[in-house]
Structure 1
């Protein structure tokens, strides 16, 4: 299979596929945004697409903070700068193994552009989620331990924090992906970041988010300065392990 027939091929080569495939294959992380406002009805469409995503037990305990006020965005800009600078000073200094240095340099330049122009970001979406307090009953715990067995039960006790974080994330990130797909379909640029978590309490204080509510992303949204185009990803043959690793 040649490179032009892998997941990197252009959308117009996919005329026999559903339109969603073309949307996904050209959904780059777009960080350079025009300052023009995004109509509220389009932002509502983005949140609606997120709400259509699944959540554990269909509890739907998500909340979305949508920021468009320039004064609030200006207040958030220094927090964004601190988070981005902290990232670039550590992990962000180095291109991932196997990634072209020039391509990585272009990505960093886009990150720096977004940092330097953050106050002009037209909209920012903060997805939040909070599980209800767990209902723990001795009889249920005993039945769970019996189902898992003693070794797995002991292991589970040590990984409960990770399990709960993944459980909450699994209730949020499918909706976030829906939002990103909807943005691309509407011609809007967006990208998902979690750098705000380095200063999460300060972000929550600035936005009035309750202290016990968890935030899962900060998604800048706006009209793109650049053009959408094919994403560069590994091929299916490189990542699939059929039946066993």
Structure 2
């Protein structure tokens, strides 16, 4: 975990299907809300498909670097930021040669109407809280889906690290999600949650740079 850096410089050498399946297996072992297991994983290794996706990736990277990624984050060493930017640009410029992509997707199973259950829920929460719940339903559903995907993604990243594979989680594709879904024939009612490039590393794994734990713990309340 302490050496799970975002590895963006990849060799063009292919990754065996057996290893990619092991990564997805690790993801599937992650938790799933209500054990619904509504996830699917699109695995891309075809160079022709990768070449079609490369322009979309470049547009998303350029848009990110023009906005949120265009300034040194507070507290980050400027030299470290420049190294990160250089790696991002390297990945953008060599994306067509990425050995593999894994795209975690999720389709939330539509629950059956349960009037009696809703009444019991209102009784348990109270009228005011139930109203807030209804108003915040869109956010809650988004978090419900995400909580059934991202723990599996972390499993995948850790499994990749254990196998000596480089990988990094990105969500930049969401700026052009419709175009990505069209390029990969992903159904409209399926949501995508990340694009994870995977390959053999050009660089070295190393310690991650994070804030000291004593600066992020708040005990017994904020």
TM-score bracket, normalised by the shorter chain, equals over 0.9
Deviations 1:28-59 (A, max 9, x none): 00000000000111111101100111101112
Count of paired positions: 222
Residue aligning to 2:55? 78
Q: How does 1:63-212 map to 2 (within 5 A)?
A: 63-212=40-189
Residues 1:239 and 2:216 are matched in the alignment: yes
RMSD in angstroms over aligned alpha carbons?
Answer: 0.9
Which residue is 1:220 aligned to? 197
CA deviation after TM superposition for structure 1 residue 136, in Å: 2.4
CA deviation after TM superposition for structure 1 residue 131, in Å: 0.8
How far residue 138 of structure 1 moved from its aligned partner, in angstroms, is 2.2
| Runs of 4+ more than 4 Å apart | none
Q: Give the C-alpha shift of residue 117 in structure 1.
A: 0.5
Q: Unpaired segments of 5 or more residues in structure 2?
A: none
What is the alpha-carbon distance in structure 1 between the residues aligned to residue 24 and residue 115 of structure 2? 39
TM value normalised by structure 1: 0.89
Query: Residues 36 and 109 of structure 2 are in contact (CA less than 8 Å); yes or no, is this contact kept in structure 1?
Result: no
Provide the C-alpha distance between the structure 1 equivalents of 2:117 and 2:136, rounded to a whole number of angstroms: 19
